Amino acid sequence: MQQLTEIRWHARAGQGAVTAAKLVAETALELDRYIQAMPEYGPERMGAPIQAFTRISEDPIEIHNNIETPSAVVVLDESLLPIVDVTRGLLADGVLIVNTCTPPAQVRASLGLAAGKVASIDATTISKETLKRDMPNTPMIGALAKVTGLFTLDQVVDHLRKTFGKKFSQEVIDANVAAVTRAYEEVQVG
């Protein structure tokens, strides 16, 4: 039970948080971990605030409810910060990763967060420059891997190539790999 990692994703519907939650779970499965990934289901409206969840563990996972005490929170859209309590239940040694160009210290101050790690990554700009559209989900996985140490960059990239290889062009795959790599390298922790 000690090794249970619980990740809560906050995003707006359409930003790919559900896919990200799934990709992270699948990457962990390739490392022979036990996994879960699920969105919180409700009416589907583009742009509405949504949550998704990923659990990763060395042991079989028996919990089936929503994540209340996450060890990591990933926010794909910074406009959610004033309207959703994204740090609710975040463990004292937990990690908050936000898609923003605001430095971590300022994010921490604006949320009044005392403990844990705060990380900033401008996933929107990375996404626009690499994927040529605003789809911050894959860069956020790169940032998550770096800040939590859950995966090496190679592990994330390997899984992306494998899973995207089935349905996307080489160009799209390469752009996603570039997005993940940049986010992995550029994420700032404070």
The rounded distance, in Å, linking the Cα atoms of 142 and 184 is: 5
66 binds other proteins (CB under 8 A): yes
62 binds other proteins (CB under 8 A): yes
> Please, which residue, 8 or 33, has the CB nearer to other proteins?
33
Six token digits for residue 144: 């998550």
Instruction: Give residues 4-23 in contact with other proteins (rule: CB under 8 A).
Output: 22
186 binds other proteins (CB under 8 A): no
168 binds other proteins (CB under 8 A): no
> Please, which residue, 39 or 136, has the CB nearer to other proteins?
39
Q: Please return the burial class of 16, using the count of CB atoms within 10 Å of its CB with bins 0-12, 13-18 and 19+.
A: buried
Q: What angle do CA 106, 108, 112 make, to 5 degrees?
A: 115
36 binds other proteins (CB under 8 A): yes
- Of 121, 159, 131, 152, the closest CA to residue 27 belongs to 159
65 binds other proteins (CB under 8 A): yes
> Please, which residue, 62 or 154, has the CB nearer to other proteins?
62
150 binds other proteins (CB under 8 A): no
The rounded distance, in Å, linking the Cα atoms of 149 and 163 is: 21
The rounded distance, in Å, linking the Cα atoms of 69 and 73 is: 10
26 binds other proteins (CB under 8 A): yes
Residues within the interface to other proteins (CB under 8 A): 1, 22, 25-26, 29, 33-39, 41, 60-66, 68
